[in-house]
Amino acid sequence: MPILCDRLLKLKEMFNSKFGSVPKFYVRAPGRVNIIGEHIDYCGYSVLPMAVEQDMLIAVEPVKTHVLQLANTNPLYPDFSTSANNIQIDKTKPLWHNYFLCGFKGIQEHFGLSDLTGMNCLVDGNIPPSSGLSSSSALVCCAGLVTLTVLGMNLSKVELAEICAKSERYIGTEGGGMDQSISFLAEEGTAKLIEFSPLRATDVKLPSGAVFVIANSCVEMNKAATSHFNIRVMECRLAAKLLAKHKSLPWKEVLRLEEVQAKLGISLEEMLLITEDALHPEPYSPEEICKCLGISLQELKTQILSPNTQDVLTFKLYQRAKHVYSEAARVLQFKKICEEAPDNVVQLLGELMNQSHRSCRDMYECSCPELDQLVDICRKFGAQGSRLTGAGWGGCTVSIVPAEKLSSFLANVHEAYYQRSNRSLAPEKQSLFATKPGGGALVFLEA
């Protein structure tokens, strides 16, 4: 923890020069890398992330006024202040302070509080933004824990994760809860299988002979600023409804692809066969969806589509369902291989990661040329498996690399991807690094 101690002391100094006082406590919440299980948490399926060492740190001083004063150590993020009792979150602009306000408002609403004390907060983050390592969710979680601590209230880690997952939707992102769950439930030295409804986490011991390496494509993608993400959420919802209708289930109450499988009581492999049978690969128009469900266009727009998907002209339902059911199966296979630990464990896990990337690229269409190039380079220089991680459309890749190949892998990838373009302008430590499972969110009383 020596690096963290240095950061806390530096943060304390900056807080003092900013607010003319000393923080009463500090809160840390980590980012995460999703090893496998992309875009399936909001469909109800388990995922397999681990916390990274990079995190959000907030220095906090409760104040007698009802003013919330937020500042950031990064000059790119301007100061912000507002009344603690009148939180407005502008969905049209994913500004940094709005993520703090999500966590604050989530705790406020959970306890039904109206007369809240103010606070001075200085935020310091070393998770690269818009990189798919969950910097935004780490800030929401950090803010939730800050607010809880200021109020002197108690909640379990699971409750905190659920509140923060729900409250991040104030910014307009229809996420599924993985990022907030791992930020709170992470433990040093182990990845986690995160399951939903009810939320629970199980340790997954990663193979000792391999290292997970994160490489940043340096293409930024802000989930809340783009409709890609929310369109995928809606495509999965529509696919679930059409599959339910096809199997004569009460489709109106079905929201997630997992619910269809649960109601039918069958395997993921069987769900893939039903998808082949029930859905066609050609994109669906809103009119065709209405015909399949026996509803009017007005009903589709007002009862099913979200405001930011009402003008979408085509929906790819077959491809999205195929990705989700196959990816959900890969997560379970990954965990099983980790538990059984055969001699070729690294090769087998690598194959699953490669399959995952292919599915994200071809069926879910959430990759981009730079990510595909980076994945190819990582495999060429010794990764047994490599895939995009996070929402995609930019951000990072995660690769499984045999430990003995690590130093040559880092050198070769650095040269092939970062030095051959002006991407070498990106800070190297934030662009390419080996990582190991870190711990979850914490409160520190002293720097």
The set of catalytic residues is 179
Residues 397 and 375: beta-carbon distance below 8 Å:
yes
Going by C-beta distance under 8 Å and a sequence separation of 6 or more, which residues neighbour residue 13? none
Beta bridge partners of 203: 192
Question: Of the candidates 107, 104, 108, 126, which has an alpha carbon nearest to the alpha carbon of residue 28?
Answer: 126
**Whole-angstrom distance, CA of residue 207 vs CA of residue 363:** 29
Burial of 234 (0-12, 13-18, 19+ CB in 10 A): buried
Q: Which residues contact 348 (CB under 8 A, 6 or more apart)?
A: 337, 342
Strand boundaries in 45-117, DSSP class E: 48-63, 67-72, 80-83
Give DSSP secondary structure letters for 143-208: HHHHHHHHHT----HHHHHHHHHHHGGGGT----SHHHHHHHH-BTTBEEEEETTTTEEEEEPPPT
Residue spans of beta strands (DSSP E) within 373-422: 385-389, 396-402
Interatomic CA distance for residues 55 and 257, integer angstroms: 32
Asked if residue 256 lies in contact with residue 435, where contact means CB atoms within 8 angstroms, the answer is no
Q: Which of 217, 165, 141, 205 is nearest to 430 (CA)?
A: 217
Closest CA to 426 of 362, 374, 356: 374
Output the six-digit token pair for 416.
């092939």
Asked if residue 105 lies in contact with residue 68, where contact means CB atoms within 8 angstroms, the answer is: no
- Please check whether residue 172 is in contact with residue 223, taking contact to mean a CB–CB distance below 8 angstroms: no
Residue 423's nearest CA partner among 215, 214, 131, 217 is 217
Spatial CA neighbour of 353 closest among 385, 382, 306, 321:
385
Report how far apart, in Å, the C-alpha atoms of 386 and of each of 207, 258, 358, 399 are: 16, 26, 10, 4
